[in-house]
Every structure is written in structure tokens, then in C-alpha cells.
Homo-oligomer: A and B are copies of this chain.
Amino acid sequence: MGGLQDGSADLADRPRTWRQIGSLVKALVYHGPGQKAWEEVPDPKIIDPTDVIVRVDMTTICGTDLHILKGDVPGVTDGRILGHEGVGTITEVGSGVGTLTVGDRVIISCISSCGACSYCRQGLPSHCLNSEGTSGIGWIFGHLIDGTQAEYVRVPFAETSLHKLPKGVSDEAAVMLSDILPTGFEIGVRNGRVKPGDVVAVIGAGPVGLSAMMTAELYGASRVIAVDLDANRLAQAKSFGATDSVNSGGADWMDELMAMTEGGLGVDVAIEAVGVPQTFTMATDIIRVGGTVANVGVHGCSVELRLQDLWIKDIAITTGLVSATSTQMLLRMVTQGKLTPENFVSHRFTFDTIMDAYDTFGRAAETKALKVIITP
């Protein structure tokens, strides 16, 4: 990457486009449940004046990609290029793009936002009303349009959806800002209204749960309790910001956890980062009067909400999809060395071995994979 960074000045005088148009490019293509292939695809082109084309320098795989491959996400159809995370270099800019230049290194946010619709204006670009097909959802890469697990990707609404990378930040740190770090922070910590002194429990120590743990200190949590069934992940959590851990497989896990809270009254904030009914109920069981349950998990079915107990407890329950409104702030923290998200990288692959990357990430319990990165 070093070369690119240093070379960007040279590129600046080659405006609007940079590479050989029409050359063959490769990408990971979805072909229905269980079917995917790294294959040649049409070279992505500028469609709207606000588009840019980005050469992907690094991408990664998300749990959502695994769901797609199971056929669980109906919006994804045969032929779709997967992936919604990535770091890259701009190779072409649309005629309406003023502040981005060929050669700029950028983080590709998992959320595309027009910057002008009512949701974008109110700070909820995750529900951008002008994204592809007026779907009312800002997550379109590898979903409603072609994604980032590719050599090149078209990025719509580029000026409001890309983040320029300062020189000192590595690709490995930056790619975590495409999705997981802002997700853990915005939907876990920020929605959870963590405040100085709070005792925070994070249920689920996967990459997003760990992201919530890592960023809980940004609002001064006094204790961050990792809750999981896997002893290995609990041990690992300590290096991602957890101060304590509780194995929820134990019969007395709740007593153990409550003893870590002020007066045994419960946690100030419970962050659910799994997505099944049992863990959601755990979150509402351990919350103190006046606390907040921040749901981060992607749920596939209803949960029972015990309002007969909770109506009186002055709690809030929040949900959400990342809006990436914190990406700039997180980038500042990374630049200052206050956050080190490169620690999420557990395995490294190249585009040639992207099928292995999926295999490794798909067997995370076994391989201890956190985030697998893929480079050209």
C-alpha cells in the first residue's frame, strides 16, 4: 500500500479516470443458496454523476455474507457480487463529484447515503430514501447492488458515503471502520446511552460484540462485562476492552454478573450482540431500573417481552442498523492511537484464496477467526 500512498500526488493530474477502461476484472459472485464463485465480471462503470469507481485494496467477510449464502436474505439475487466492507483507491470519479480525486485512499462504508433525503438529514442514513430502488435502506453493497469482494466496485453517492483515509492509518485498521466498529459503537454503545461510570454488559463476544466492548470506554464505562458461552472468546474479550467476564453457561451466571453491579441492582446498559430470543431475555433480566437494553443482534423471530415486570422499570430498549455517522470520529481515535481495530484481524488471504477465507470464517468457532482480511 505504501506505494499508492506516496504516489497519490502523481495521480492527481490524471483527473476523472485512472485505469484501462474495459479490462477484465474479477469478483466473488453469488449464484443462489450455497453457490458462489470468484469469476470474471463486467468492469464496473460510472452510472450516476455522483458515482466513483474504487479499486479494492482490502476487503473482509461479515456474518451477514454467511446469511446471504444460506439464502436467508431474499433481496440478494443470482449474479450479485457480495461484500459491503472495504478499503480502496479511487480510480474514476463521476462528473458531479467535487471533493474526491482519483488516487484518494478511502474507506467504503457499508452504508450508502444520498445526504439529502429526510432520513439522511436527520442522521439516519442507514435508512436513506434515495438508495437503490428507494428501498429505504442504506445497506445496498453486496445486497441490492454489486459489492466490495471484487477488484473494483462502483460506489454511489460517493461524497456522502466514502471516508478519505489519512496517511498514518493502515488498511487493516481502516477496514474495520466499514462496518463492525461503527456498528458496535453506534448501535451498542451510543444507542445504549453509555455514560461515565456505567457498568455495561455485552452479551455475545463475536466481532460486533467485541467492537462494543472496545468502544464502551469512549463514554467512560467503569466496567465492561463480556458474557458468552465460549471460554476462549471470553478470554479474548479482555484484550478488546472487557474488564470482566461471565460464562453464561454457568448455572449461577446471573448472580455472578449482578454481584459486579452497583448494589446488585443490575447493569446500567446491556448490549445484545447475538440475535436470538434467549440472549435478548438475558439482557432484559439483568438491566437495572433506569437502564438501557441496546439490541445489536439481527433477529430472525419474535421474542417474548415481559412487560408485566418491565413496564415499571423505566428502561429503554433500542434497535438499529449502523448509520456510519461515527466513522469520522472513530477514524480520529484510530489516527491518535486511542483505538487499535487492526487487532480484529485473525487471518489473512488474497483474492485468489477468497474461498478459503470464507471457509475459515464460516468455521469461526473452530478456527478462532475474528475478522479475515482479503487483499489483491
Chain A residues at the B interface, C-beta cutoff of 8 Å: 48-50, 94-96, 98-99, 114-124, 126-127, 130, 136-137, 159-160, 191, 196-197, 217-220, 222-223, 243, 262-263, 275, 280, 289-290, 295, 297-308, 310-321, 323, 325-326, 328-330, 332-333, 335-336, 338
Contact = CB atoms under 8 A, between A and B. Distances in A.
Contacts of A115: 115-116, 120, 159-160
A130 B98 CA distance: 9
Contacts of A123: 123
A319 B314 contact: yes
A299 B320 contact: no
Contacts of A114: 98-99, 159
Contact of A319 (B159, B310, B325, B328): B310
**Residue among A99, A321, A338 with most chain B CB within 10 A:** A338
Nearest to A333: B222
Contact of A321 (B314, B321, B332): B314
A282 B326 CA distance: 30
Contacts of A197: 328-330, 332-333
A213 to B, nearest CB: 14
A314 B323 CA distance: 10
A300 B219 CA distance: 35
B308 A122 contact: no
A302 B300 contact: no
Number of copies: 4
B50 A314 contact: no
A130 B298 CA distance: 38
**Residue among A118, A130, A243, A289 with most chain B CB within 10 A:** A289
A316 B192 CA distance: 10
A315 B332 CA distance: 22
Given A314-B321, A315-B318, A332 B160 contact: no
Given A96-B96, A290-B127, A325-B121, A311 B297 contact: yes
A302 B311 contact: no
A270 to B, nearest CB: 14
Given A295-B311, A314-B320, A329-B196, A96 B289 contact: no
Given A49-B96, A197-B332, A314-B320, 19 more contacts: A50-B96, A50-B98, A95-B96, A115-B116, A119-B289, A121-B325, A196-B329, A196-B333, A197-B328, A218-B220, A222-B336, A262-B332, A300-B308, A301-B307, A302-B304, A302-B305, A304-B304, A314-B321, A317-B318
A121 B328 contact: yes
Contacts of A196: 218-219, 326, 329, 333
A325 B314 CA distance: 14
Question: 8 closest pairs, A vs B, by CB?
Answer: A96-B96, A218-B220, A197-B329, A115-B115, A49-B96, A299-B307, A116-B159, A314-B320
